[in-house]
């Protein structure tokens, strides 16, 4: 692979979409022409200044980029070690990093003359971001969502409907995110002419993992500049939460060739990685297999059946992980750890009272790892974590977990 020649971690994937043994394009013949025309369009857009000019304009005026890099002073004092910075991607329009990627894919769809956008969603954040950008451009939007998730995530379902999207509850399989993604892929092959499939994370067949990473890499690019302005150097350690791995890849990618920068991905440990698969830690608790068109680490039983996983955070319960993470894990460039529900809840509460920021449960996992790490490091060590989403969507879940009855706080 070209990586050996140039000694760079940033040249992948290869022409087949492989990152080492991971990734690729495991799709049916009917899907292949669609994937190839998407790849062709993306390759053109990548080096087209007018494409990036449109992205930058929307990132600035519609999303609110650049998001701030914030020194968490009270948290740093409280932990008593390394300096903790937060990349504030929760301040983006729609409250998370998802819209960075959705904008890129929708602009591509428009260039390809597509008028109907489909998407899968789990917790609903990617569905909301997609419905938002479709409304802005007057595109038809259909969101596939597991029937179980439709019930659990009622506020996001209503948001999508307000934005004019059609939400299709998926009852096949177990009615979760994995099944929603299967149904979206099925829709795509039957509506070839007018439909574009907007994937929400660094998963799916090539070119999606690389393309979504490239759109999310704005996060890490901004951190490089902002950290240089704040500290005059690079951060020492990067920390991000991982569902499929898109916010993490976005933060990590621009730093992959800076060998002195430690990179840590945080998976959802649920009730604990050793407790009968009641977690979503694909790298720390799964093994390689093929799902949704690529080869990566998956949660599976001894027969290769994909397991559902469990986490207090609906946005982290994808049974796989982006193939580039699987590769970074195997070659040792990035380290992957897991954090339990209990630890994430503690970090959530600490962030509220120490920093006045109500974080989403996903980045609360990253923060929980920062809480373990910072006290062990010297005061001149700089940690940057991605605050990839705000917590408004999670307050009911947290209330329940903490034993509060909403409407009865006394
Ligand atoms: C969707 C989501 C995630 C998980 O997705 P990644 O692709 O791993 O980033 C994490 N945090 C928030 C706030 C999300 O909405």
Ligand 1: residue of 123, 145, 201 to mutate (most ligand atoms within 8 A of CB) is 201
Nearest-CA neighbor of 124 among 176, 172, 63?
A: 176
- pLDDT score for 339: 97
Tokens of residue 127, six digits: 């569905």
Ligand 1 centroid to residue 239 C-alpha, Å? 14
- pLDDT score for 152: 81
User: Looking at residue 311, what DSSP letter applies?
Assistant: -
Contact 256, 333 (CB under 8 A): yes
Query: What's the whole-model pTM score?
Result: 0.96
Ligand 1 centroid to residue 246 C-alpha, Å? 7
Residues of the chain with CATH 3.40.50.1100: 19-60+98-212, 66-95+218-401
227 CB contacts (<8 Å, ≥6 apart)? 69, 85, 233, 234, 235, 382, 384
Nearest-CA neighbor of 76 among 404, 398, 388, 380?
A: 380
CB-ligand 1 contact for 265 (6 Å cutoff): no
Give the C-alpha separation, 87 to 45, whole Å.
27
Nearest-CA neighbor of 112 among 194, 55, 190, 31?
A: 194
Give the C-alpha separation, 67 to 91, whole Å.
7
Contact 360, 90 (CB under 8 A): yes
| Burial annotation 52-62 (CB, 10 A radius, 16+ → b, else e) | eebbeebbeee
List C-alpha distances in Å: 383 to 39, 47, 238, 363. 36, 33, 6, 14
In ligand 1, which atom is closest to the CA atom of 245? 8
Concatenate the DSSP letters of all residues of 74-95 into one string.
HHHHHHTSSEEEEE-GGGSTTS
| Burial annotation 120-144 (CB, 10 A radius, 16+ → b, else e) | bbbbbbbbbbbbbbbeeeebebbbb
- pLDDT score for 1: 44
Nearest-CA neighbor of 214 among 303, 324, 124?
A: 324
Ligand 1 centroid to residue 117 C-alpha, Å? 20
Tokens of residue 95, six digits: 């409250």
Architecture of domain 66-95+218-401: 3-Layer(aba) Sandwich (3.40)
- pLDDT score for 410: 55
Tokens of residue 66, six digits: 């650049």
Ligand 1: residue of 216, 219, 241 to mutate (most ligand atoms within 8 A of CB) is 241
- pLDDT score for 2: 46
| Residue closest by Cα to atom 11 of ligand 1 | 362
- Report mean pLDDT in 10-residue bins for the chain, 410 residues: 66 96 96 96 97 98 98 98 99 98 98 98 96 98 94 92 98 90 95 96 98 98 98 98 97 98 97 81 93 96 87 87 98 97 98 98 98 98 98 93 77
Contact 281, 269 (CB under 8 A): yes
Give the C-alpha separation, 92 to 75, whole Å.
22
In ligand 1, which atom is closest to the CA atom of 248? 9
| Residue closest by Cα to atom 13 of ligand 1 | 389
CB-ligand 1 contact for 209 (6 Å cutoff): no
- Domain 19-60+98-212 class? alpha beta
Q: Is 382 helix (H, G, I), strand (E, B) or coil?
A: strand
């Amino acid at each position: 692979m070209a990586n050996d020649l140039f000694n760079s971690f940033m040249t992948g994937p290869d022409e087949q979409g492989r990152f080492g043994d991971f990734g690729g394009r495991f799709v049916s013949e009917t899907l292949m022409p669609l994937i190839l025309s998407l790849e062709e369009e993306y390759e053109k857009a990548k080096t087209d200044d007018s494409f990036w000019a449109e992205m930058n304009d929307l990132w600035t005026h519609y999303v609110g980029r650049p998001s701030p890099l914030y020194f968490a002073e009270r948290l740093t004092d409280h932990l008593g070690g390394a300096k903790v910075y937060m990349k504030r991607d929760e301040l983006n329009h729609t409250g998370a990093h998802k819209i960075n990627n959705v904008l890129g894919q929708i602009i591509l769809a428009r260039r390809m003359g597509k008028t109907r956008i489909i998407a899968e969603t789990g917790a609903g954040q990617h569905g909301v971001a997609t419905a938002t950008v479709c409304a802005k451009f007057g595109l038809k939007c259909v969101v596939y969502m597991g029937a179980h998730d439709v019930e659990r995530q009622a506020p996001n379902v209503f948001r999508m409907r307000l934005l004019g999207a059609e939400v299709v509850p998926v009852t096949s399989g177990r009615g979760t995110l994995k099944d929603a993604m299967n149904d979206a892929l099925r829709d795509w092959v039957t509506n070839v002419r007018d439909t574009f499939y907007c994937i929400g994370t660094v998963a799916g067949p090539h070119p999606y993992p690389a393309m979504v990473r490239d759109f999310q890499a704005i996060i890490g690019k901004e951190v490089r500049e902002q950290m240089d302005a704040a500290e005059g150097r690079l951060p020492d350690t990067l920390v991000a939460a991982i569902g499929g791995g898109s916010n993490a890849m976005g933060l990590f990618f621009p730093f992959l060739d800076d060998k002195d920068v430690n990179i840590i991905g945080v998976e959802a440990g649920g009730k604990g990685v050793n407790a009968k698969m009641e977690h979503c830690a694909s790298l720390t608790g799964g093994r390689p297999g093929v799902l949704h068109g690529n080869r990566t680490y998956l949660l599976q039983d001894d027969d290769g059946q994909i397991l559902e996983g469990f986490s207090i955070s609906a946005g982290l319960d994808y049974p796989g992980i982006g193939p580039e993470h699987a590769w970074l894990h195997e070659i040792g460039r990035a380290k992957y750890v897991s954090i339990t529900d209990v630890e994430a809840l503690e970090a959530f509460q600490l962030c509220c009272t120490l920093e006045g920021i109500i974080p989403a449960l996903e980045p609360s996992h990253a923060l929980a790892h920062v809480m373990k790490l910072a006290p062990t490091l010297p005061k001149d060590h700089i940690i940057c974590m991605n605050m990839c989403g705000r917590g408004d969507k999670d307050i009911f879940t947290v209330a329940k977990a903490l034993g509060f009855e909403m409407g009865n706080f006394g």
